[in-house]
Amino acid sequence: MSYFEQIDKEKLPSHVAIIMDGNGRWAKSHGQERIFGHFNGVEAVRASLKAATRAGIPYLTLYAFSTENWNRPKEEVEALMNLLVETIINEIDELDRNGVRLCAIGDTDQLPDACRTQLFRGIERTRSNAKVSLILALNYSARWEIVNAVKTIGRSGISEEKIDADLVSNSLTTRDFPDPELLIRTSGEHRVSNFLLWQIAYTELYFTDTLWPDFNEEEFYKAVVDFQHRERRFGKTSEQISPSAQTDKVR
């Protein structure tokens, strides 16, 4: 039985976020330069979006470029930016036909002009689509986002007594999206790398050794099935979540 066939449509995560890692190692294993892995990683993006759409998951966030990625070799950064522009141009018609709404979070003002232009054209073109929201984290840093939220709240002049978790959440770049329920990281690394630190407070984390260019639809469904087998307690006990659990223990 495939992993897709094992998915319980009544227990789907509303939002899946992915740290797409392993492009460089994948390229090295094929005797190629790092950018070769990034080019091949585009197919994994297509597969993940197709899987989310087929399963009925309305929000998918991809960590495409972090603020720290500017520290990579200049040639690689330029190639990544060009790849992003080309991908948006090549994919936008299909995204629009399939009801995908393109969104972005991060300090997009610092992106190259050509990249920013194509990004915002794609966002505007798909603004009214509602089947699935594809959120690209570009020049993104969770610490940058939280600092900006603090500055925004500080400038508002709001009293200390009125500052709460909801206010902070509504001051973040993700204010229009639900928090991720499932975070996937590929390539075997077990860290979150400054990604959605506020939003993943109660997110289920899933780590796979699969390198990003090899991540396909079935790998996506496998992560969803794993998520559905977990007990999400949000600080409560098993008995509070499911009173029958205590009865089962007695039996």
The residue among 229, 187, 186 whose CA lies nearest residue 17 is: 186
How far, in whole angstroms, is CA 130 from its chain's centroid?
18
Q: Contact at 8 Å (CB) between 136 and 115?
A: no
d(CA 200, CA 70): 24
CA angle, 198 as apex, 131 and 13 as ends, to 5°? Answer: 35
Tell me 134's DSSP state.
E
Q: Is 250 exposed, middle or buried (0-12, 13-18, 19+ CB in 10 A)?
A: exposed
Q: Contact at 8 Å (CB) between 78 and 72?
A: no
Token match 């509602």: residue?
Answer: 130
d(CA 173, CA 108): 11
Q: Count the neighbouring beta carbons within 10 Å of the beta carbon of residue 12.
A: 19
Letter for the amino acid at 10? E
Catalytically active residues are: 21, 69
Letter for the amino acid at 136? L
Q: Contact at 8 Å (CB) between 20 and 189?
A: no
